[in-house]
């Protein structure tokens, strides 16, 4: 039996299976591997963003044009998206956000705390459905379920991947 695949490889496969083509992202160390996989995938179109809200608009344009999109970001980037999320909600654009959390498990950087602790609340306030995932083995399954929810029911869904699952950034 082959070595067990990582959650990043599993999530990449889920995105492929669900025909998610345009992947907007602002990097996070927890997203490093999946960004590499998406960039290397000729069937996908990776779009490096200058700010996360661009990804919400990108997903809206992609859907208008008949393509599925996902947006990858760190929890701090969620704050940049808030007003733009209003467009996705008002237009009932299916939106899949994959958010790697900071400001949780053994965080070192106090500047990460305010936005991280507000992430689920502000997403919820905008009408985005938030699905939290703590265990690495559950991440791909949660993304798959979130993708189905988003694309089958035209909703905005965010998967918040806990800092504990990814590992705490070491400042050394």
Q: Considering only residues 11, 20, 31, 56, which one is a binding residue for another protein as defined by CB under 8 A?
A: 56
Q: How many residues bind another protein (CB under 8 A)?
A: 31
Candidates 11, 44, 4, 34; CA nearest to 139 is 11
Q: Does 91 bind another protein (CB under 8 A)?
A: yes
Minimum distance between the CB of residue 86 and another protein, rounded to whole angstroms? Answer: 6
Q: Does 20 bind another protein (CB under 8 A)?
A: no
Q: Which of residues 125-164 bind another protein (CB under 8 A)?
A: none
Q: Considering only residues 15, 30, 38, 53, which one is a binding residue for another protein as defined by CB under 8 A?
A: 53
* Angstrom distances, CA of residue 123 to CA of 75, 118, 159, 169: 11, 8, 11, 24
* Angstrom distances, CA of residue 121 to CA of 6, 48, 78, 98, 116: 29, 26, 11, 16, 10
Q: Which of residues 69-88 bind another protein (CB under 8 A)?
A: 69, 83-84, 86-87
Strand partners, 129: 157
Q: Does 93 bind another protein (CB under 8 A)?
A: yes
* Angstrom distances, CA of residue 73 to CA of 20, 65, 80: 16, 23, 10
Q: Considering only residues 6, 9, 13, 57, which one is a binding residue for another protein as defined by CB under 8 A?
A: 57
Q: Considering only residues 92, 109, 125, 153, which one is a binding residue for another protein as defined by CB under 8 A?
A: 92
Question: Considering beta carbons, is residue 72 or 133 the nearer one to another protein?
Answer: 72
Q: Please give the residue ranges that form the binding site for another protein (CB under 8 A).
A: 21-22, 45, 47-51, 53-54, 56-67, 69, 83-84, 86-87, 90-93
């Amino acid at each position: 039996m082959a070595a067990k695949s990582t959650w990043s490889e599993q999530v990449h496969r889920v995105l492929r299976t669900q025909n998610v083509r345009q992947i907007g992202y602002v990097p996070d160390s927890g997203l490093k591997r999946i960004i590499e996989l998406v960039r290397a995938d000729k069937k996908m179109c990776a779009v490096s963003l200058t700010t996360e809200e661009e990804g919400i608009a990108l997903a809206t344009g992609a859907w208008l044009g008949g393509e599925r999109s996902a947006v990858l970001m760190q929890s701090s980037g969620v704050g940049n998206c808030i007003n733009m999320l209003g467009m996705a909600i008002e237009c009932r654009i299916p939106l899949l956000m994959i958010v790697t959390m900071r400001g949780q498990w053994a965080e070192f950087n106090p500047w990460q705390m305010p936005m991280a602790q507000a992430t689920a609340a502000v997403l919820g306030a905008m009408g985005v459905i938030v699905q939290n995932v703590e265990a690495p083995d559950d991440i791909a399954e949660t993304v798959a379920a979130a993708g189905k929810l988003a694309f089958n029911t035209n909703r905005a869904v965010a998967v918040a991947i806990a800092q504990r699952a990814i590992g705490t950034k070491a400042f050394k």
